[in-house]
Amino acid sequence: MHPAFTRFPAIDVPSNGLRFRVHTAGEGDRVALLLHGFPESWFSWRDQIPHLARLGYRVWAPDLRGYGGTDKPQDVAAYRMEALLDDVAGLVDAAKPRELLLVAHDWGGMVAWEFVRRRVRPVDRFVAMNIPHPVLMRRALRNNPRQLARSWYMFLFQLPYVAEWYLARSDYRAIKGAFVSMAIDRKRFPEEVLDVYRDSAAQPGALRAMLNWYRAALRHPSPAKGAQRVIDTPTLLLWGEEDAALGKELTFGTEDLVSDLTVRYIHEVSHWVQQEAPETVNAMLEAWLTGRVVPQAWEIGGQGTSRVEAVAEE
């Protein structure tokens, strides 16, 4: 077992009729709720959990519906957006925060964007990592052939049994490969890390549940009513620029949809931004949460970019 499992003890939290496995750190009524993506788990936040706890947050990192130690409904309809939003609302209600920081990546970020946009519960601060605003994502899938090609796997995942077989074959090679093949710094994903994700996906019912997130998105699309509502929650958008699944251009126009927005790009880092560049991500998080100017990646001196590249973009 990876030492993170004992370092951050787990509790079971009821929400929306399900039991959620939540790994925790810190204490108090300032709560940081961390929502992971596919094919990850709470474990993807292992480097952010202690950092946020040191900043004074009680950190909750759940396995989302269908993942890890959390319940795994098998019906596609159980993964429609409205159910996922109710899951997060139930977790927030259980945590009883005085102040809520919502941090999310990938699929967890898609739910989080909707949660903040619809104002399901009050959110004091929101951090999205390598996931665009839903309006920009929908626009790209309609109008951007390059992004549509990047999203080929979403269509493979619609195939019952075939997708499950593809992900499970050869000891879950495709699950491990999702990290290694996309990562720029592959040293961040040694076997002991990949084994955590393999073991999570190998649990009974997990693969079907994980794929149902994609299946429900196409079969039970969320209503777009009010999609253009401007978000007024202070928002930090962090983006690893070498994302093979989601192009950087998906971030362009976010400033028209979020009134209080800070964006930072991290060069030479993939979709797995918080795992591949934890020092850079944590430094940016800390600056933003403590009211300081968020540094550019080249100013931090870790992974990310050279000053020449950064200046060329400005």
106 is catalytic: yes
Contact 102, 127 (CB under 8 A): yes
Handedness of CA 12, 203, 4, 116 (dihedral sign): negative
- The first and second tokens of residue 154, run together, are 């979403």
Looking at 214, 243, 265, 267, which residue is catalytic? 214
The answer to whether the beta carbons of residues 49 and 8 sit under 8 Å apart is yes
On the 0-12 / 13-18 / 19+ scale of CB atoms within 10 A, 203 is middle
Bridging pattern class, strands 125-129 and 235-240: parallel
DSSP-assigned states of every residue in 46-92 = TTTHHHHHHTT-EEEEEPPTTSTTS-----GGGGSHHHHHHHHHHHH
Active site residue 214: yes
Q: How far apart are CA 14 and CA 23, in angstroms?
A: 14
CB-side exposure of 24: number of CA atoms within 13 Å? Answer: 15
Spatial separation of the C-alpha atoms in residues 115 and 265, rounded to whole Å: 24
Catalytic residue among 87, 106, 172, 197: 106
List % helix, strand, coil for the chain (3-state, nearest 5). 45, 15, 35
Which residues is 10 bridged to in the sheet? 23
Q: Choose the catalytic residue: 36, 105, 267, 271.
A: 271
For 308, what's the count of Cα atoms within 13 Å in the CB-facing half-sphere?
0
Mind telling me the catalytic residues?
A: 106, 214, 271
